[in-house]
Amino acid sequence: MSTHASSRRFAPNKIIGSFHPPKRILMGPGPSEIHPRVLAASSAPSMGYLDPVFVGMMDEIKQLIRYAYQTRNGLTFPLSGPGSVGMESSFVNMVEPGDSVIVMRNGVFGGRMVENVQRAGGKAIVIEDNWGSPCDPNKLREALKQHPSVRTVGYVHAETSTGAQSDAKTLTAIAHEFGALVICDAVTSLAGVPLLVDEWGVDAVYSGSQKCLSCVPGLSPVSYSDAVIERVKARKDSAQVQSWFMDLNLVLEYWGETARTYHHTAPINSLFALHESLVMLQEEGLEQSWARHRLHHEAFKAGIEAMGLSFLVDPANRLPQMNAVKVPEGFEPGVEAQLRKRLLADYSMEIGAGLGPLAGKIWRFGLMGQSCSRANVMSCLGALTCELPEFGMPVKMGDAEQAALNVYNRAAQNKHESCG
């Protein structure tokens, strides 16, 4: 049997051609839509990861991430991997076997923090809050009083599974009162709501490229304070960081301020894309990005409430970029999923489902980055207006869209008056 004939035994059952994805309106929990400038940057010719030109771009990315995080931390860079890698990197470096770590859990991603503590050999002391509620600072203070040996506190700033925002500034301050460092999950919050790393004193923070930054998925911007670096460097040989790839002692040699040493082959073209998305954030302005997310949330909220629907999270703790809307009482089981499928099939629009105890009870609407636009708000409200009656919920045509337009018109009038 010839080599060519032999290789055919492992060939696919059919001829597979090029993949051409359909154009989607991405209004789920992520990823968000990607601007053509970012897509174009990702398709630029590749280059070596130690090429002096590429190294110069790496320095620019670090500066731009510092701007997004509002920090001067030297160790600020994008990890090669999604936000989950940012989470794991923080825990494997900061938690030693036997450490007691407080984790505040009010959704899926607080739960993942617990798993990371356990896998790093630590003991997780879990503070539970209701899904849809923020992390309770008073519970944190009491837990730290009861467990004075705790050196690390983990919390989620913006819980993607519920749309709840916790008070990162207060949680960090309480942890520092007791001598603990914090790990902050900012995967959904970065560039969508205020996140002031230096002002609030956040020690370790990680995010994802695919949310409010609207970059291609697969990168995790992180930032670590000097206190974190000191802790990592002080680890004993017997408590060596369990992950070679994520060991900050080694990563420092590649992303540090001095000469670069090979660590791994960086995702070159994805970093081109991240550079461009961060340039676009700089052009828009961080405060303007926060304001845009707030404006389109307010318009979406007005439309949703005009339909008679309601939100899971109370207004004071609600994320503008992640909207958890309750499935109306009385809907038959499975209707929640049927609506999502209808929107995807007939409108090419993706929205998210509830997770864990909220499965089947909420829809999650993302207004993140490039997906956070007037066109998407109006398209989504129009689609819901058309489809909800099919599932037994009467909706008056035009009410939701008009409610959203009223918000936009007021915003335009206020802007005109302030300029005048």
Q: Where are the domains of the chain?
A: 36-282, 286-414
Residue pointed to by tokens 């923070």: 205
pLDDT of residue 251: 87
Dump pLDDT digits (tens) for 281-299. 999 999 999 999 999 999 9
Task: Give the model confidence (pLDDT) of 39-57 as tens digits.
Answer: 999 999 999 988 999 999 9
Q: 3-class secondary structure for the chain?
A: CCHHHHHHHHCCCCCCCCCCCCCCEECCCCCCCCCHHHHHHHCCCCCCCCCHHHHHHHHHHHHHHHHHHCCCCCEEEEEECCHHHHHHHHHHHHCCCCCEEEEEECCHHHHHHHHHHHHCCCEEEEEECCECECCCHHHHHHHHHHCCCCCEEEEECEECCCCEECCHHHHHHHHHHCCCEEEEECCCCCCCCCCCHHHHCCCEEECCCCCCCCCCCCEEEEEECHHHHHHHHCCCHHHCCCCCCCCHHHHHHHHCCCCCCCCCCCCHHHHHHHHHHHHHHHHHCHHHHHHHHHHHHHHHHHHHHHCCCCECCCHHHECCCEEEEECCCCCCCCHHHHHHHHHHHHHCEECEECCHHHCCCEEEEECCHHHCCHHHHHHHHHHHHHHHHHHCCCCCCCHHHHHHHHHHHHHHHHHHHHHC
- Which amino acid is residue 200, in one-letter code? W
Q: What is the pLDDT of residues 381-398, one digit of tens each?
A: 999 999 999 988 989 999
Q: How many CB atoms lie within 10 A of CB 57?
A: 17
Average pLDDT estimate for 209-237: 95
- The average pLDDT across 267-281 equals 98
Global pTM reads 0.95
Q: Please state the rounded mean pLDDT for residues 406-419.
A: 89
pLDDT of 2 strictly over 80: no
CB-CB contact of 74 with 66 (8 Å):
no
Average pLDDT over residues 401-411: 97
241 or 292, which is more confident?
292
CB atoms within 10 A of CB 72: 11
Of 110-119, 197-206, 230-239, 245-254, the one with minimum mean pLDDT is 230-239
Determine phi and psi for 77, rounding to 5 degrees: -165, 170
Give the pLDDT of residue 257: 72
Average pLDDT over residues 84-108: 97
Percent of the chain with pLDDT over 90: 86
* pLDDT exceeds cutoff 80 at 166: yes
> Measured between alpha carbons, how far is 93 from 230 in angstroms, rounded to an integer?
11
- Residue 336: what residue type? E
pLDDT grade, residue 38 (50/70/90)? very high
Beta bridge partners of 105: 128
* HEC assignment per residue over 270-306: HHHHHHHHHHHHHHHCHHHHHHHHHHHHHHHHHHHHH
Confidence label for 88 from pLDDT (cuts 50, 70 and 90): very high
What would the pLDDT profile of 311-327 be if each residue is shown by its tens digit?
Answer: 999 999 999 999 999 99
pLDDT of 1 > 60? The answer is no
- Chain-wide mean pLDDT for the chain? 95
pLDDT, position 312: 98
Q: Give the pLDDT of residue 324.
A: 98
Question: 36-282: what fold?
Answer: Aspartate Aminotransferase; domain 2 (3.40.640)
User: What confidence score (pLDDT) does residue 238 get?
Assistant: 61
pLDDT score of 253 more than 90? no
- pLDDT > 70 in the chain, percent: 98
What pLDDT, on a 0 to 100 scale, did the predictor assign at position 182? 98
What pLDDT, on the 0 to 100 scale, is given for residue 81? 96
Q: What is the pLDDT of residue 274?
A: 98
Angstrom CA distances, 303 to 116, 293, 408, 409, stand at 39, 16, 11, 14
* The pLDDT value given to residue 384: 97
Average pLDDT in the 208-224 region? 98
pLDDT-based confidence at residue 20 (cuts at 50, 70, 90): very high
- Please give the radius of gyration of the chain, using alpha carbons only, rounded to the nearest integer: 23
- CATH (one of 3.40.50.300, 3.40.630.30, 3.30.70.980, 3.90.1150.10) for 286-414: 3.90.1150.10
Q: What do you get for the CA distance between the two ends of the chain, in Å?
A: 83
Give the model's pLDDT for residue 4.
62
**What is the C-alpha separation between 408 and 89, in angstroms, rounded?**
42
